[in-house]
Amino acid sequence: MKYRLFFLVLLLSCSLYAQERIKCQASVNGLKIKTVYITGSQFNGVAWAYKHLSEETCLTPVLDPSKADAILEIVPNGAAPAENNESSDPFSISCTSRGGSSTCLDSSGNELDIICDRNGNCTSYFGPSPAIVLLHALNVWVSNMWYQAEVRLYTPDYKILWKSENQKGHWPDQWPDKVRYGTDSPPCKIPASGSFDRHKYKNYRNWGTIKCGIDFDPLVSIDIKANARIAQKQESVDQKQSEADEMKRNAQDAAAKQQSSTP
């Protein structure tokens, strides 16, 4: 009798657990979205999305736009406005001197360095400021990080559905959080940094499955960078083979002409 009662309690618990689970379903204003074709000018963001979007949202990436419920476009955020060649900013130069050396920097980012030794021998440099060049390189590197982006959802015929720039909510830090919130994904509170459970958190899919009873579609992870490398390698192999075939045909044609012209 005890074993039967235990079995009934266990069966009831499993039944309640199954009923409490939530399907991970994305939607925008009632439009259900399961699969997305990813495109955009922020390549690192696009590459990241194909590989990790299925871990952080209820959306599944596909490589065939005809099989997508929506188009996910990823573009750089904070894009600089077009340069105005008729800028009215005044040209300026600032200089500093120390010992026998002096450095001047103009408002265009050019630097003039004059360095003299104790004997009066001087060397000079004029050109782009190395510090500004380095800063520009760092800015470009940071701006190309996968998370430095904004996201837009479109219908398959490119009618706008949602923009991350307009998204307000509980996850304002990075665009995957905005997508998750903006597509009405099941809420699942992420543990704060430093909390006991933080080390267990891997991604929204992992945490949602374990802690919030969310059921996800099968995981899809597409490494388009690896695919591109494989395609490029195959293209190189095909090109070499094509060249080898062409050289062989050229030799055969020349040999045939040579034999026909021999008396």
Query: Does pLDDT of 82 surpass 50?
Result: no
Query: Does pLDDT of 15 surpass 50?
Result: no
- Pair 95, 113: CB distance under 8 Å: no
Query: Does pLDDT of 23 surpass 70?
Result: yes
Tens of pLDDT along 205-259? 999 998 899 999 999 999 887 655 655 656 666 676 777 777 778 778 787 887 8
Query: Does pLDDT of 89 surpass 90?
Result: no
Listed in sequence order, the residues at least 6 apart from 51 whose beta carbon sits closer than 8 Å to its beta carbon are 221, 222, 223, 224
How far is C-alpha 58 from the geometric centre of its chain's CA atoms? Answer: 18
Under the banding of pLDDT at 50, 70 and 90, the label for residue 42 is confident
Q: At what angle do helices 43-56 and 175-182 cross, to 10 degrees?
A: 50
Torsion of CA 193, 196, 199, 202, to 10 degrees: -80
Residue 114 structure tokens = 């004059």
pTM value is 0.59
CA distances to 83, 157, 237, 257 from 249, rounded to whole Å, are 53, 47, 18, 12
Tens of pLDDT along 131-140? 555 555 445 4
Quick one: pLDDT at residue 12? Answer: 43
Query: Does pLDDT of 59 surpass 90?
Result: yes
Quick one: pLDDT at residue 228? Answer: 54
Quick one: pLDDT at residue 18? Answer: 46
Quick one: pLDDT at residue 221? Answer: 92
